[in-house]
Structure 1
Amino acid sequence: MTALTTREQIVTTADRLFYENGYEHTSFADIAAAVNISRGNFYYHFKAKDEILTAVIAARLAHTKTMIEGWEREAPNPEARIRRFMHMMIANRAAIKRYGCPVGTLVTEMAKLDHVAREDANKLFGLFRAWLGTQFRALGCGADADRLAMHLLARSQGVATLANAFGDDRFIRREVALMEEWLTAAVAHATPRPDNRRRQH
């Protein structure tokens, strides 16, 4: 096992444990045991839990950017791209019902702890906000683009919170369907702008 592979395994495992158990309730020992490496080998890669948190947030940002780039390539227009964002809740519904939204739970915990990584964690929402705003502007929503992006983010977070509280799979599907109806109405009232993005193959 190379050093890079070991580090990646630590970060991937820590990401899962932070999501499932919370950052505060996940210890070095928990992560080391899950990765099945010695404490000495563990400390070779990370000296403090905050260092792992920084690596986890960076990995989540990179993953989110890759996911968004995939939507850009695969979806033919801004409306279809926004729907990809909505359908993410259905694709991840099992984890959301059990643990909540991975972004929302992390940001909330960092805020409660007044943790130094709070600002970095917020960048995850910032990334979605900026991207959704770009899609709404391309749809012709103009000055309302950021407001619509924030509304969609807020609504998705509310759905994730209640789905986690009640464990209702049908609720997630119903709410996503309602979001799609809302998007259809928003598009109908917008003035479309040419989408000059070149699809990548």
Structure 2
Amino acid sequence: MTDSESAAAVEAPRPSRSGRGGKRERLVNAAVQVFHEQGVEKTTLGDIARVADVPLGNVYYYFKTKDQLVEATVDAHCDQLGTLTAQLDRLPDPAARLEALVAGWVEQRETAARFGCPFGTLATELDKRDDGLGQVAAKVMRALLDWVESQFAQLGRSDAPALAIELVGAYQGMSVLTHTLRDPGLMAAQGERLQSWIDGIAGR
């Protein structure tokens, strides 16, 4: 698979910024964007209403509190992951799916350099709270780990759970470094190393 085919295969689902769709959908899409760019604590419902182009008063019809909107945002990330993995599952073999996943991460390196991993930053922020939202966010990370583990298992690896943690952990680590150093080239270089690592595991 070529780099362009890999990137095309896994272009991550992104919230629409077109303004189309119902008000609730627009609010959730805006929250995904603004929480990523600003963080939950710094974001107000007014910020989200402005990006969604929805009157602030209408926000409370759909979400009584910001925490309810945070939960809806986690659900949106879960839906985006489901869409992505379904797209990846159309590829011919597990190694190609994993390599395409990595290519998709690398494709978002400019965004990662500016704001960090779209979901990892949210999960880290929520984990510092004592209201249980960190556990809500954990279900998305668990779903990603489970899918990656299933790919390694299909490659016949008995250590599939450990390999899944290694791959997802490597991505989160390179996202943090890419963001901290504001260097998208770092993610590109590490992505190539992960591609070679997957090739080695697949016996290519």
Match runs of 1:109-128 below 5 Å: 109-128=125-144
Match of 2:9 in 1: none
Counterpart selection for 1:51 from 54, 68, 84: 68
Confirm or deny that 1:107 pairs with 2:123.
yes
- The structure 1 segments of at least 4 consecutive aligned residues displaced by more than 6 Å after TM superposition are none
Match runs of 1:1-201 below 5 Å: 5-73=22-90, 75-142=91-158, 144-188=159-203
Partner Cα separation in structure 1 for residue 141 and residue 155 of structure 2: 21
1:41 to partner: Cα distance:
1.5
Unpaired runs of at least 5, structure 2: 1-20
Does the residue aligned with 2:89 lie in a helix, a strand or coil?
Answer: helix
1:111 to partner: Cα distance:
1.1
Partner Cα separation in structure 1 for residue 165 and residue 180 of structure 2: 22
For the pair shown, the structure with the greater C-alpha radius of gyration is: 1
What does the per-residue CA deviation read over 1:175-194, in whole Å, with 9 as the maximum and x for residues that have no partner?
Answer: 011111111222229xxxxx
Partner Cα separation in structure 2 for residue 38 and residue 180 of structure 1: 46
What does the per-residue CA deviation read over 1:87-135, in whole Å, with 9 as the maximum and x for residues that have no partner?
Answer: 1221111110100011210111011123421111111110110001100
How many residues end up aligned between the 2 structures? 184
1:9 to partner: Cα distance:
0.5
What does the per-residue CA deviation read over 1:15-40, in whole Å, with 9 as the maximum and x for residues that have no partner?
Answer: 11111000111111211222233232
Partner Cα separation in structure 1 for residue 194 and residue 116 of structure 2: 19
CA contact (8 A) 2:27 2:54 kept: no
Partner Cα separation in structure 2 for residue 22 and residue 33 of structure 1: 16
Partner Cα separation in structure 2 for residue 117 and residue 64 of structure 1: 18
Unpaired runs of at least 5, structure 1: 190-201
Superposition RMSD on alpha carbons, in Å?
1.4
CA contact (8 A) 2:127 2:135 kept: no
1:6 to partner: Cα distance:
0.5
CA contact (8 A) 2:89 2:97 kept: yes
Task: Please state which structure has a larger fraction of its residues in helix.
Answer: 1
CA contact (8 A) 2:127 2:133 kept: no
TM-score normalised by L of structure 1: 0.87
1:165 to partner: Cα distance:
1.0
- Identity of paired residues, percent? 31
CA contact (8 A) 2:114 2:182 kept: yes
TM-score normalised by L of structure 2: 0.86
Partner Cα separation in structure 2 for residue 168 and residue 39 of structure 1: 37
CA contact (8 A) 2:36 2:115 kept: yes
Does the residue aligned with 2:80 lie in a helix, a strand or coil?
Answer: helix
